[in-house]
Amino acid sequence: MQLFVNDLTVMDFSYLCPKRGMVGESWIVDVVLDGDLNEESMVQDFGKVKKNLKRLIDDYVDHKLLVPAEHANAIVIHDEDGDQVEVQFSCEDTRQIMLYCPSDAYAFIYSDEVNMASVGEYLREVIATHLPDNVDDIKLHLRTEVITTPYYHYTHGLKKHDGNCQRIAHGHRSRIDIFVEGEPCKASQSYWAQRWADIYIATQEDAIAYDARKITGSVDNASDYLCFAYEANQGYFEIMLPQADCEVIQTDSTVECLAQFLLSEQQRRYPGKENKVIAYEGVGKGAMVTG
């Protein structure tokens, strides 16, 4: 017998890619359980499936940075005196991305590439150890939201957040809807999809000097890189990445602040016209503002 649950959850995370760099992503999770009927004449209660499996996915992948631990250009250094982990990653075009964060900020995928197959296998192995005796196997189907309009991938961290959003490198795959004088503006949507393609959105007050970093790794041309750091409830977070891959704003990078930033930029691009921005944070949620 097979029990299936579609749209179990959405995983919002970022991952390191040798071609693209740091990529914000949102994947929808469907699951199928194979097993025998239990004493309740069920494979498993739907309520328990949704609660338990979602909790495991949240614990192991959601709002983390996924690192391809077996990639030749990935270096992982564990702090001998604490819970901090430094990750150094080199892209094919020589760009460097480095982080120094609590261990819970990462998920280490034992593959040379982070993709749906490797993440699905990682999750299947994790979840399999938590299944009841009557369940023989679990299959996960990971997929992206079907978006027919422009969208972007972004990574950020929210130091003031009480939960896992405070992790400095988690992200989203997000559509963007922009209206000018009440009409959809495809040119504006395409502009932002290109400007924020695989972007890291940082807050100016979190910037630190290159020489002040705790990251032990170094780069040849420090002036081409930016460093950001903050202390949050879960610990100390630090990141260094190419300046060309960053959008630095004056506010926090909540979706509400991003919507306001987009509107302000739109007003400069289309002065004297009414602009409306609907900014998404992953799948099915976001903020909107008009002005």
Confidence of residue 53 (pLDDT cuts 50, 70, 90): confident
Residues 203-231: pLDDT tens digits? 999 999 999 999 999 999 999 999 999 99
Give the pLDDT score at 80.
Answer: 84
Give the pLDDT score at 186.
Answer: 96
State mean pLDDT over 189-199: 98
- pLDDT above 70 covers what percent of the chain? 92
Residue 51 pLDDT > 80: no
Residues 72-112: pLDDT tens digits? 999 999 998 889 999 999 999 999 999 999 999 999 999 99
- pLDDT above 90 covers what percent of the chain? 81
Q: How many angstroms separate the CA atoms of 121 and 115, rounded?
A: 10
More confident residue, 283 or 46: 283
Confidence of residue 43 (pLDDT cuts 50, 70, 90): very low
**106-109 and 135-143: which strand pairing?**
unpaired
- pTM value is 0.94
Q: What is the 3-state secondary structure (H, E, C) of the chain?
A: CEEEEEEEEEEEEEEEECCCEEEEEEEEEEEEEEECCCCCCCCCCHHHHHHHHHHHHHHHCCCCEEEECCCCCEEEEECCCCCEEEEEEECCCCCEEEEEEEHHHEEEECCCCCCHHHHHHHHHHHHHCCCCCCEEEEEEEEECCCCCCCEEEEEECCCCCCCHHHCCCEEEEEEEEEEECCEECHHHHHHHHHHCCCEEEEEHHHEECHHHCCCCCCCCCHHHEEEEEEEECCEEEEEEEEHHHEEEECCCCCHHHHHHHHHHHHHHHCCCCCEEEEEECCCCCEEEEEC
Residue 128 pLDDT > 90: no
Mean pLDDT for the chain?
A: 92
Residues 143-167: pLDDT tens digits? 999 999 999 999 999 999 999 999 9
Give the pLDDT score at 42.
Answer: 46
Q: How many angstroms separate the CA atoms of 228 and 144, rounded?
A: 30
Confidence of residue 289 (pLDDT cuts 50, 70, 90): very high
Confidence of residue 252 (pLDDT cuts 50, 70, 90): very high
Give the pLDDT score at 81.
Answer: 84
Q: Candidates 3.40.50.620, 3.30.479.10, 3.40.50.80, 3.40.50.300; correct CATH number of 2-172+203-245? A: 3.30.479.10
Query: What residue spans define the domains of the chain?
Result: 2-172+203-245
